[in-house]
Structure 1
Amino acid sequence: MAAGVYNQAIGAFQSHSLVNNFNHQQKFNNIGRLVVTKDFISSNCLSRKNFSVIQCIASQTSEVDTASSSSRSKTSARDTHTKSNEAALILVRHGESLWNEKNLFTGCVDVPLSKKGIDEAIEAGKRISSIPVDLIFTSALIRAQMTAMLAMTQHRRRKVPIIVHNESEQAREWSQIFGEDTRKHSIPVITAWQLNERMYGGLQGLNKLQTAERYGKEKVHEWRRSYSIPPPNGESLEMCAERAVAYFRDQIEPQLLSGKNIMISAHGNSLRSIIMYLDKLTSQEVISLELSTGIPMLYIFKEGRFIRRGSPIGPTEAGVYAYTRRLALYRQRLDDVLQ
């Protein structure tokens, strides 16, 4: 148990370092280090809460990017009485993968996008091209990362998404960006295994129709659509939700509270888990929730509440920007600057 808590604490600390490192580029030997031992954690009952992200990315202002805040929180934004800035939260399930195309159980196998999936990712980018994005979170799997990167090629701000590497001292030092102007025109991309698709265990790589013939349609449906029953040696939706929602609360929600506009590119089950939390769905309601590949969903985070706004229809669709005055002003500034 102590080892599990140790890994959670280190993971949260590293995620905090990812965000902080991108905007405060320094030689690693000048950065103060935190040394945590298993004995220290075990004796002090350290939890994820102690390592919640409490320092958000330094705001970078321009004539278009005006939203910023220095608010910090050690608890979930829903549990605080601090008034927050309005922020946009975009959720997008990755485009079709090569194994989706072949109707295979994919789970945590790292499979890239298909040609259709690439097109879906680009179309998703067009739909959100006038919605501000300050920070991107993706799973550790390539299909989610490809979707985020391809989507951002369509954004009207033309900022470059850059994956932040914090897995080692050398990775941190070698991936530094020294140009101040270059940093201002970049968007940090943070990858997290906690946002991965649920692990399908012994089903991964099997054809879905053949698996139904082998085990029976009812049994396979139970594995795929029940909340608490996992497939053989795999994760249930409940288990996936435990890690995905904990990561969202600890690492992503504080960024929204600070006024950062966030995009999450992830998977059907990890996103269903997060939507269950955002919309306060029951376990019965979430199992019937279906998410299409490559279709972004927009939430507005304001005063500790998540307001679901649905999906933008296309790059010329105006309705979604009328949901809030701030989004309308952002789009108008884009029109003025880029026309």
Structure 2
Amino acid sequence: MTWLITGGAGYIGAHVARAMAGAGERVVALDDLSAGFAARLPESVPLVAGSAGDPALLRQVFAEHEVTGVVHLAARKQVAESVARPTWYYAENVGGLATLLDAVAEAGIGRFVFSSSAAVYGTPDVDLITEDTPCAPVNPYGETKLAGEWLVRAAGRAHGIATVCLRYFNVAGAAAPELADTGVFNIVPMVFDRLTRDDAPRIFGADYPTPDGTCVRDYIHVADLAEAHLAAARQLNAAGAPGDLTVNIGRGQGVSVRELVTLIGEVTGDTRAPVVEDRRPGDAPRAVASAARAAKELGWSARYGLTDMVESAWRGWRLHHGR
């Protein structure tokens, strides 16, 4: 069978493509290259340049590559941007997904892995977030991911598509420097960017009800995340596999923002003290995954630790930013 990976030339998508192709799966990537780079993909993975919201292109790709499963990662994913442009986010993330699912159903494709997010949970007051923790997103990005899950499950029931929704926690690191995240939207590259510009790192809020007053998060290495996608794809291929599964992808270990910034200082050699600024709206004091269902249903657990994430991300940052 062949898996189509939408957003396959992006930071996460290229890791997924490499992991699946390296494990012997047939893979084709679809990417509009607005944030992705063709050079990230191995030679064995063909790239189709275009939008996952283009029905004619989807029909062509499905037929030419004999696609039998889809891993859908293509989406808009910046929280602040979603607050500023909510209608566009819904159109891109939910409307585009509806177009893709219509094409999947029309082609008779029976397997679908959906890239979701821990943003669907909002700000739950629990030690470990399970898949049964109530969802209450606090921004349009999280809303579009939750609506996307609803849509995926509904389409699965209506058309006999077996589905897995993977709720990512905080993704960091790189399997190779050339695959590193080139954006400055997540906390690790944001700190790197500050240090590169000879500025102190920033911490938003140090008065939370946590051991050191800063937010606690669950960080997952992008290579582990890629292996989770491979596990999900193979689970959908297994005889008797559930047709509708939702799984957290995290390590189940909390790390405070201050602890992370301290580790980044140790790895980079720039140990200047961070500047504490006001809290950001919507930041939960603690957001840590329960990884039990991933282990039980997918046979998957994270292998890499936080130091691996920071060191590999720093190697990628230096490659792309010339430091």
| TM-score between both structures, scaled by the size of structure 1 | 0.27
- Of Structure 1 and Structure 2, the greater strand share is in 2
Between 1 and 2, higher relative CO (CA 8 Å, sep ≥ 6) is seen in 1
